[in-house]
Structure 1
Amino acid sequence: MFQFDEILEQYEPMISAAIRKCRIYKNHEHYAQTARIALWKAWEKYDHVQGDFAPYAFTCIRGSILDELKKENRYEERYQPEQDDIIELYMPTSIESEVSYILEGLLNKISKEEQQFLIDYYIGGYSYEELSAKYHASVATLQKRRMRIIEKVRKEI
Structure 2
Amino acid sequence: MSKKTFEELLQQFEPMIYHMMKRLNIYENHQAFYQVGCIAIWEAMFSYIEDKGQFPAYLYPFMKGRMLSELSEHTKRTEDLLDSSDTIDETIMVNDFYDIEMKSIVEDLTRTLSPLQKKWFIGYCLYGKTPSEIAVEENVTVSAVKSWRREAIKRIRAVHFDYHVR
| 2:41 maps to which of 39, 42, 51 | 39
Q: Which residue of 1 aligns with 2:110?
A: none
The separation in 1 between residues aligned to 2:25 and 2:88, in whole angstroms, is: 33
Shift of 1:83: 8.2
Larger radius of gyration: 1
**Corresponding position: 1:60 with 2:62:** yes
RMSD: 2.0
Shift of 1:14: 0.8
The separation in 1 between residues aligned to 2:88 and 2:5, in whole angstroms, is: 49
**Corresponding position: 1:16 with 2:18:** yes
Letter in 2 for 1:57: L
Letter in 1 for 2:52: Q
Instruction: List, as ranges, runs of 4+ consecutive aligned residues in structure 1 with deviation greater than 3 Å.
Output: 83-86
Q: Which residue of 2 aligns with 1:50?
A: 52
**Structure 1, gaps ≥5 residues long:** 87-157
Using the size of structure 1 for normalisation, the TM-score is: 0.51
Percent of residue pairs bearing the same amino acid type: 31
The separation in 2 between residues aligned to 1:42 and 1:31, in whole angstroms, is: 16
Please give the per-residue CA displacement for 1:58-88, whole angstroms capped at 9, x wherever unaligned.
11111111111100111122232438859xx
Q: Which residue of 2 aligns with 1:3?
A: 5
Instruction: Label 1:44 to 1:82 Cα distance change in 2 as closer, same or farther (>3 A).
Output: same
Instruction: Label 1:70 to 1:84 Cα distance change in 2 as closer, same or farther (>3 A).
Output: closer
Using the size of structure 2 for normalisation, the TM-score is: 0.48
1:76-115 → structure 2 map (5 Å cutoff) = 76-79=78-81, 80-82=84-86, 85=89
The separation in 2 between residues aligned to 1:7 and 1:83, in whole angstroms, is: 40
**Structure 2, gaps ≥5 residues long:** 91-166
The separation in 2 between residues aligned to 1:83 and 1:74, in whole angstroms, is: 14
3-state DSSP of counterpart to 1:24: coil
- Bigger relative contact order, structure 1 or 2 (CA pairs below 8 A, ≥6 apart): 2
The separation in 2 between residues aligned to 1:27 and 1:44, in whole angstroms, is: 27
The separation in 1 between residues aligned to 2:88 and 2:53, in whole angstroms, is: 54
3-state DSSP of counterpart to 2:73: helix
Instruction: Label 1:11 to 1:83 Cα distance change in 2 as closer, same or farther (>3 A).
Output: closer
Aligned residues: 86
